[in-house]
Amino acid sequence: MASAVSMASVLPGSAGAASLSVDQAIYALKIKEASGEFEKLLIRQMLREIRSGSLVSSSSESRGYMDIADDQLVDIFQGSGGLGFGTAMAQQFLQQIGAAKAISR
């Protein structure tokens, strides 16, 4: 039994809170999750680049600790909404999928 799920519950702030089937909602959630993971990767890489430009040299042990600290910082940052890249990417991707389905009909 496929019940309808609102698009707003999947992606808050998304335009056109169209009704989705459960399968479509699961697919949309997977897109949102993948976009969020990509954003975490992007933030983590930005932190590494900032640290690589440092004038202070560090040992491999301290770099390991810094990587752990960066991971924690990224998780905290992402938990508070992140930069918004992930949400914007997910919304754009879902709009493109919707447009492609409309064209193919």
Domain membership of residue 9 (yes or no) is no
Domain membership of residue 2 (yes or no) is no
Q: Is 20 helix (H, G, I), strand (E, B) or coil?
A: strand
Structural domain boundaries enclosing 58: 29-104
pLDDT, average across residues 44-66: 78
Instruction: Give 15's DSSP letter.
Output: S
Domain membership of residue 64 (yes or no) is yes
Q: What pLDDT is attached to residue 40? A: 92
Please say if the pLDDT value at position 19 is more than 60: yes
Q: Is 19 helix (H, G, I), strand (E, B) or coil?
A: strand
Taking the model in full, what pTM does it have? 0.66
With bands split at pLDDT 50, 70 and 90, how would you rate the model's confidence at 1? Answer: very low
With bands split at pLDDT 50, 70 and 90, how would you rate the model's confidence at 52? Answer: confident
| Domain tally, the chain | 1
Ramachandran angles phi, psi of 21, nearest 5°: -75, 170
Neighbours of 42 (CB within 10 A): 15
Domain membership of residue 79 (yes or no) is yes
Mean pLDDT for all residues in the chain: 77
